[in-house]
Every structure is written in structure tokens, then in C-alpha cells.
Amino acid sequence: MSIQEINKHAVLPPIISRSDKEFLESMQRYIITETERVGCNKEGPADEYYIIYRNVFDKVIEYVTAYKSILTSIKKEYDGFIETVKEGQRAAFCLHGKLKALAAEPTALVYHRKRTIQLEAKMKVIENNSSKIQLQIDKMKQLRAEYDAKEVRYHTFSKDPSKPIPGMTLQESVNLVALTKYLKHLEDKYAEIKQAMLKKYVPIQRKAELDEEMIVTLKRRDLAENLNKQLQFRHQRLQIISNALISWVKSDMSSSFEDFVEHTQKTKSLPVIIGDEGIVEELLEDDPGKAKGAEILLCYIERFSELMSLGEYEKAACFAANSPRRILQNIGTVNKFKAVGKIRGKPFPLLLFFEAIFSTSHAYRRPINAELTLEGIKCGLSEKRLDLVINWVTQERLTFSEELGDVICDYGEQDTYNKAKCLALAQMIYSECGLHKKALLCICKQGQIPGAMEYIQQFKDFTYGECKSTYVLTSN
């Protein structure tokens, strides 16, 4: 092709108008500014990129009106393509998660099977233990039924007729008048004993019923006392207001009633409302029931002395535990039971007394004082009844003291088999008494070092020297 033909078909480059150039520059600045503002990097596409270029595309379509339909179609295809790519990414993410879950299922299945085997083995052990315990229970029930069904046989006492009758001489034993008189004496004594059994003794089932009735009656008494105190307080307050109102009416009534009452209380010209206890004590000064109450207390003491003299120590212990105002729950009663000592073939009377008072203290909602508590714990430990001591301490029916914890600790040092139990009880007592150093020492002696650290962190009043001395005592 010749040079002329080439020149003939040559096309000049398009001349961009000034407005188009300004528009292109503004679009370029918009892209750079928005990209920097949203902080997009160049490593990969982001949603912000799509939004920026979509806005640029919309502005170009609005600016170029001649190609608006074509550019709109292109933008529509562009948006559809982008949406398809996003949908594919979301589907790939979901499939990746499902793939991970499917890959982890075999491992989880192995763990579940292993755990199933462990639980089945544990269930077998529990079932075996349950069957053994059930067999023991059935055996005990059978023995109890046999014991209950067993008839008590009374054998007539055979006596040698050649021996003299007790209480009679040889001459009287052959005298018909003396024998008749002695027979009458025995019949009267038998009738007296039978009558005493009907009056003084009741079945043991009746005791349980009386205990329940006593608890209900005590609750009713407490409610009545509280209501009585409230009513007495209201009466006292209304009486004071009534006196103030009478004084205010008698005065010139120049001030309001409220100001008059405040001024009167400040000058103490009216009686001040006292507390509930003061009102009750004041109103009960002339109570006619006090004399009757003293008679009841005297009867209780006489009945207790009678039971002690008859050797009915178990009944005497229950009687003292249920005495009104705890009049028989003191060291004097303890000394009386101590004087009896141990009886061969029967429970220790002093231990029966402490069992009775500790069991009833919860019903009265008042713990036993520290002195009786210490004596009771010493008695229980001397009889090697640690089970009773644990029950008394854990039921919160006692008054804890440092001496009580020391006694239990000393017993644990002697009885190494139950040392851990004694240290746990002593720790509980020391903690309740605020003796945290001794409580920490008990924890360390049990070998519970993490528990000791938690105890130190809980109270945070231990010095370095105290912790060091505790460690030295534990090591020794």
C-alpha cells in the first residue's frame, strides 16, 4: 500500500472536551478518596470496591446520555456477575464448614463410644453395690420381723418349798394368820404397782405424739407472744398520743399538734416509747401466773429427783431435756448423772442426758451453752461415739468455742483412724469462732494445700509469719 493510501485512511485522535476531562478527573479523585476512606487494600476484592465502582458506573451513565441504555445493560450484567461471585463464596464457606464437621464426626463417634463403655462399666458397679445393699436391707428386715414375731416367754419361778419365805421368820411361815396378813400385804402392793403403771407410764407411741403436740404448741406460743408484743407496743404508743392530745387541748393550741408533740418529746414532758422488751417486762411485773409457774418448776425438779432415785435414768434425761426454761439443763444436773457412773449392761446415763438435750435444742431454736456443749462433747468422745459428736456439731445445735475445737483435735491425735474426721470438725468450729489460723492449720494437716490457699485468699488477714509458722507446725 502506498503512502498516499495510508494517509487517506488515517484517523485523528479524538479531541476530549473540557467538561469530559473535568468529569473524568472528578471520577478518578472520587475513586482514590473513597478507597482511602474505607481502607481497602489491593490484595483482593472487597465489598467496598464493588460499591465504589458501582457508584462511579451510575455517575457515568447519568453523564453520558447517548449510551445510557447500553451502559445500563452492561451495569446490570456487571451486578449480576458480582452477585453470582458472592453467592459462590458464601456457598463455598458453608460447604467448608460442613466438610470440617463431617471430618470431625469419626473422632466424636470414637469418643462417644469410649464414654459409653465407661458409663456402662460404672452402671454395673453401681448396680452390684445396690444389689448388695438391698440384700443387707432385706436381711435386716427379716431379722427384725423375726425379732418382733418372737414371743416373750415368762417362766414361773420355781422355788424350793423347804426354804423360808423372804421377809418372814420360820414361825411366821407356818402361822396361818401371819401368812394371810402377808398375802394381803402382797396383794395391796401389787394393786398399788398396777395403779402406778396406769398413771405414771404411757406407751412410747404416745411420747412421739406428745413431742409433735409440744412443737405445735411452742410455735403457737411464739406467734401469740409476737402478736402480744405488737399490740402492747401499739397500746403504749396510742396512750402516749392520747396524753399528748389531752395536753395540747388544755394548752392554748397556738401551734400545730405535730409541732406540739415534737416539742414535748424534746422537753421529755411525755413518757418516751420504750422497746418491746421493756413494755413486756413492765406489764408482766404483776403477772398472777408467775406463782403458778414457780409451782410447775418445783414439780419438775421433784419429779426429776424421783426418777433419779428410782434408777429411771433414761426417763430422767428426757425429763430434764424438756424442762421448762431449761431449768434442769445445767452443770448441777450433769454432776448428778456423773455421780451415777456407768451401769453394767445399760447405756451410760450421762450420755443419755446429752443426747436428750442436744436433740431437743433444735426444736426450741436455741443452742446449748458453751459449758454444757464442752461437757457433752467430752462425754461422747470418752465413750468413743464419734458418730454422735459429728451429728451434734453438723446439726448446729451447739455453741462453738476454742476449747471445743481443741478437745476434738486432741481426740483426733489419739484416734488416728478418725483423725481426718476430727480435723474437719475442728476446722468447722474454728472457722465459726473466727480462729482462722487454727482452721488453716487443720486444713494443712489434712493435706489439702489447694484448700488452704483458697482459705488464705478468702480472708486475706494472714501475715507471712503466720503462714510460715503454720507450715512449720504442719511439717512437725
Position with higher pLDDT, 148 vs 12: 148
In this structure, is residue 140 part of a structural domain?
Answer: no
Domain count, the chain: 3
Residues spanned by the domain of 341: 312-382
In this structure, is residue 31 part of a structural domain?
Answer: no
Considering the domain architecture, whether residues 429 and 469 belong to the same structural domain is answered as yes
The predicted structure's pLDDT at residue 56: 83
The predicted structure's pLDDT at residue 98: 83
In this structure, is residue 158 part of a structural domain?
Answer: no
In this structure, is residue 422 part of a structural domain?
Answer: yes
At 130, is the pLDDT very low, low, confident or very high (cuts 50, 70, 90)?
Answer: very high
Which amino acid makes up residue 399? Answer: T
Least confident of 98-112, 270-284, 363-377, 445-459: 270-284
In this structure, is residue 458 part of a structural domain?
Answer: yes
**Tens-place pLDDT, residues 293-307:** 666 777 778 888 888
DSSP code for 418: G
Range among 142-151, 323-332, 423-432 rated most confident: 423-432
Considering the domain architecture, whether residues 275 and 215 belong to the same structural domain is answered as yes
pLDDT of 282 higher than 50: no
Domain limit, last residue, from 353, 382, 411: 382
Give the percent of the chain with pLDDT over 90. 6
Considering the domain architecture, whether residues 404 and 369 belong to the same structural domain is answered as no
Helical axes 349-364 vs 331-340, angle rounded to 10°: 150
At 152, is the pLDDT very low, low, confident or very high (cuts 50, 70, 90)?
Answer: very low
Does the pTM exceed 0.85? no
Give the residue-averaged pLDDT of 426-448.
82
- Are 48 and 40 within 8 A, CB to CB? yes
Position with higher pLDDT, 79 vs 269: 79
At 452, is the pLDDT very low, low, confident or very high (cuts 50, 70, 90)?
Answer: confident
pLDDT of 218 higher than 60: yes
In this structure, is residue 213 part of a structural domain?
Answer: yes
Considering the domain architecture, whether residues 414 and 356 belong to the same structural domain is answered as no
Give the residue-averaged pLDDT of 193-217.
80
Mean pLDDT estimate for the chain: 76
In this structure, is residue 37 part of a structural domain?
Answer: no
Which amino acid makes up residue 452? Answer: A
> Rounded distance, CA 430 to CA 451, Å?
15
Q: Return the closest-CA partner of residue 71 out of 61, 81, 62.
A: 61
Cβ atoms within 10 Å, residue 385? 17
Considering the domain architecture, whether residues 343 and 279 belong to the same structural domain is answered as no
Angle at 170 between CA 165 and CA 176, to 5 degrees: 80
At 119, is the pLDDT very low, low, confident or very high (cuts 50, 70, 90)?
Answer: very high
Give residues with Cβ within 8 angstroms of 350, minimum separation 6.
334, 337, 338, 340, 379
pLDDT of 93 higher than 80: yes
Considering the domain architecture, whether residues 470 and 435 belong to the same structural domain is answered as yes
DSSP code for 14: P
Instruction: Report how far apart, in Å, the C-alpha atoms of 206 and of each of 171, 172, 212, 338 are.
Output: 49, 46, 10, 30
- Are 63 and 30 within 8 A, CB to CB? no
The predicted structure's pLDDT at residue 128: 92
Considering the domain architecture, whether residues 272 and 321 belong to the same structural domain is answered as no
pLDDT of 120 higher than 90: yes
The predicted structure's pLDDT at residue 162: 64
Considering the domain architecture, whether residues 378 and 419 belong to the same structural domain is answered as no
pLDDT of 66 higher than 60: yes
At 273, is the pLDDT very low, low, confident or very high (cuts 50, 70, 90)?
Answer: very low
In this structure, is residue 227 part of a structural domain?
Answer: yes
Instruction: Count how many residues are written for the chain.
Output: 476
The predicted structure's pLDDT at residue 140: 92
